[in-house]
Amino acid sequence: MQNQEKVIVIDFGGQYNQLVARRVRECNVYCEIFSYRTPIDEIKAMDPKGIILTGGPSSCYEDGAATCSPELFKLGIPVLGLCYGAELMDYVLGGNVERTKEREYGHTDIHIDTSSPLLKDVPENTTCWMSHFDYISVPAPGFKAIATTRNCPYAAIANDEEKLYGLQFHPEVLHTPYGTQMIHNFVRGICGCAGDWEMGSFVDKTVGELREKIGDGKVLLALSGGVDSSVAAGLLSRAVGKQLTCVFVDHGLLRKDEGDQVEGVFGENGSFDLNFIRVNAQDRYYKKLAGVTEPERKRKIIGEEFIRVFEEEAKKIGAVDFLAQGTIYPDVVESGLGGESAVIKSHHNVGGLPDFVDFKEIVEPLRYLFKDEVREVGRKLGIPEYLVSRQPFPGPGLGIRIIGEVTGEKVKIVQDADAIYREEVDKAAKEAAIASAANDGIIIDAENPDYKVMRKYYPAWMPDQYFAALTNMRSVGVMGDERTYDYAVALRAVKTVDFMTAESAQIPFDVLQTVMSRIINEVRGVNRVFYDLTSKPPGTIEFE
Ligand code: XMP
């Protein structure tokens, strides 16, 4: 993002680093993550209003530890060090850092100096989230303590003159109740950022930039109907209209009515100006998947077939100038391109498409946005809430929610069961949210709710991902006077922050019973419903 007031986060490999950037953006200040290896001249050239040093796994006094140039603290730019970042700043500037007797982890009471600009509007006694094995034992010259805990005489340090600050704990996690306030104090107060980063101006700015970049060129986008590609389509359509062609491949493994919903929004009768091509490839997929039961093989077939279908369409369209992708910021960071975090997964937005399309350049209009920001942009563009707030849905779709062989008949069963499940969970969560908001004197319109408000009042059990899957098991049952021998549906619902670990969500039993009885009564071919209690690990979220 050029010409945008920004704070930069220097990544030392800590696990919460994306959260730091998100918290800064919640203060309406744009922020990007860079590896600690980034040369100081490059940092200077970015002209940031502030610098935040993250946590990390090293010990700053050990050989080979992740470090930074002492010059970083002499640029006249405010610096805030968090955990390892605070220790490193102290150490580099001549203080002392030592190992604690015991690793300190979890909620910790903290006593703070409320006169510090970093701790403005924070109560004198509060709690913070600690996760460290080293601590600042001697502050660097010019620094003083501005907070203490039982084990840390320097739980927060400050050199107000130089605008250098350090927190031994993690203000970025929600377990530090006033953490966001501290980050706000730093970026808006100490760094003096105006706080003009918001999604409305992002849309205007990006549309202008896209127009300039694309000129009268042709753009091709693989539209999956997921949040990222839908929002990318909306932005590009706003920028270049009919110069954009979206290819939507319906592989027959989408959720109930999803193909029609996507076509309704982006197709001929929708509200976006673009060329929309829907490829109904269900039969091709089912044919390829016939008799295949091994999960990885299924995944591979679905991915390869997608490329083949898309390639055929791309050939019909001919050469394009730009291939658009819905890459978002976490994809960039996780691919190891932005920060320091280990490569967690290579992002699979369009599964290797670039090799199969004749194009000159890639365009990624969402490259700098976090997921919540992408959703907000979608709302600003007028994309309906059911698309914008969609749950994550895997590329191979229902293909990995049907255990064993995939057939058209099984797809229909799982689609119908899943639609009932989602409808009932959404209904119960909405009712609970409306009741809970009413207790706070806030009225949520049931017909046309403000989703931002409603989300705040969702019950604690509201899952982050929930869906039905079809087990490959058939069992005996009785319906009316007749014996049945039908499939069992499994209901999955998980609470998760990062999808790397997850807990089974505690959906109320009466809601589950309603779902069960509706599925048995309304979906032919099912006579048993299970609720999956497995955490991840050892289970995965999907079934295959
Ligand atoms: P698992 O099953 O690995 O799922 O615990 C973690 C998250 O990733 C999604 N997922 C996928 N997404 N292609 C995707 O685009 C895939 O092959 C795939 N497999 C799992 C899953 O829905 C969950 O959100």
HEC-encoded secondary structure of 175-186: CCCCHHHHHHHH
Place of tokens 């202008």: 208
| Residues 399, 532: Cα–Cα separation, whole Å | 19
E strands, 254-383, are 275-280, 322-324, 361-363
Nearest to 151 by CA among 191, 107, 108: 108
pLDDT digits (tens, 9 = 90+) for 417-457: 999 999 999 999 999 999 999 999 999 999 989 888 998 89
Map residue 384 onto helix, strand or coil.
Answer: coil
Structure tokens at 282: 């269900």
List pocket residues of ligand 1, CB cut-off 6 Å.
299, 348, 392, 394-396, 465, 499, 536, 540-542
Q: Could you tell me if 247 and 223 are in contact, meaning their C-beta atoms sit under 8 angstroms apart?
A: yes
What atom in ligand 1 is closest to the CA of residue 540?
5
How many whole angstroms from 339 Cα to the centroid of ligand 1?
Answer: 23
pLDDT at site 341: 53
H helix runs in 34-162, sequence order: 40-46, 84-92
Query: What is the pLDDT, as a whole number, of residue 339?
Result: 60
DSSP bridge partners of 40:
none
pLDDT digits (tens, 9 = 90+) for 304-362: 999 999 999 999 999 999 999 999 998 888 776 566 654 333 334 445 677 778 899 99
Q: Is the pLDDT of residue 410 over 90?
A: yes
Cα–Cα distance between 186 and 52 in angstroms, integer? 9
Nearest CA to ligand 1 atom 24: 392
CA-based nearest residue to 277, from 213, 239, 320: 320
- Which pair of tokens denotes residue 195? 């706080």
Closest residue by Cα to atom 18, ligand 1, is 394
Annotated active-site residue 107? The verdict is no
Token output for 534: 């497995």
Whole-angstrom Cα distance, residue 324 to residue 314?
Answer: 13
Q: What is the pLDDT of residues 215-269, one digit of tens each?
A: 999 999 999 999 999 999 999 999 999 999 999 999 999 999 999 999 999 999 9
Instruction: Compute CA distances 314 → 228, 284, 317, whole Å.
Output: 21, 18, 5
Using pLDDT thresholds of 50, 70 and 90, give the confidence band for residue 502. very high
Of the pLDDT bands very low, low, confident and very high (cuts 50, 70, 90), residue 501 is confident
Among 299, 484, 476, 282, residue whose Cα is nearest residue 402: 299
Which residue lies with its CA nearest to atom 20 of ligand 1?
A: 394
Catalytic residue among 27, 60, 68, 83: 83
Whole-number Å distance between alpha carbons of 226 and 375:
11
Distance between CA atoms of 466 and 447, rounded to whole angstroms? 23
Rounded Cα distance, 35 and 23, in Å: 18
pLDDT of residue 101: 84
Which stretches of 291-401 are assigned E, i.e. beta strand?
A: 322-324, 361-363
Q: What six digits make up the tokens of 359?
A: 């194009």
Global pTM? 0.87
pLDDT at 15: 82
CB 387 within 8 A of CB 255: no
Enter the DSSP assignment of 119.
G
Distance 216 CA to ligand 1 centre (A): 37
Instruction: Give the number of the atom of ligand 1 that is nearest the alpha carbon of residue 539.
Output: 5
Across the range 266-286, mean pLDDT stands at 97
Name 280's bridge partners: 250
For residue 174, the model assigns a pLDDT of 84
Question: Residue 382, Cβ neighbours under 10 Å: how many?
Answer: 12
What's the longest Cα–Cα distance across the chain?
A: 86
- 396: preceding bond cis by omega (within 30 degrees): no
Q: Is 311 annotated as catalytic?
A: no
What does the H/E/C string look like for 235-260? Answer: HHHHHHHHHEEEEEEECCCCCCCHHH
Closest CA relative to residue 67, chosen from 38, 96, 99, 98: 38
Q: List the beta strands (DSSP E) in 297-382.
A: 322-324, 361-363
Q: What percent of the chain has pLDDT over 70?
A: 97
Alpha carbon of 542 to ligand 1 centroid (Å): 6
**Could you identify the atom of ligand 1 that is nearest to the CA of residue 395?**
15
Per-residue pLDDT at 415 exceeds 80: yes
The single residue of 172, 334, 340, 424 carrying the catalytic annotation is 172
Nearest CA to ligand 1 atom 12: 394
- Nearest-angstrom CA–CA distance, 266 and 246: 9
What angle in degrees, to the nearest 10, is found between the helix axes of 295-317 and 282-289? 150
Q: What letter represents residue 406's amino acid?
A: V
Q: Give the C-alpha separation, 381 to 9, whole Å.
A: 29
The pLDDT tens digits for 16-68 are 888 999 999 999 999 999 999 999 999 999 999 999 999 999 999 999 999 99
> What is the model's pLDDT at position 338?
61
Q: Among this protein's residues, is 172 annotated catalytic? A: yes
Return the pLDDT at 344.
36
Computed over every residue of the chain, the mean pLDDT equals 94
Start-to-end C-alpha separation, the chain: 39
What b/e sequence results for 321-342 when a residue is b if at least 16 CB atoms lie within 10 Å of its CB, and e otherwise? bbbbbbbbbbbbbbeeebbbbe
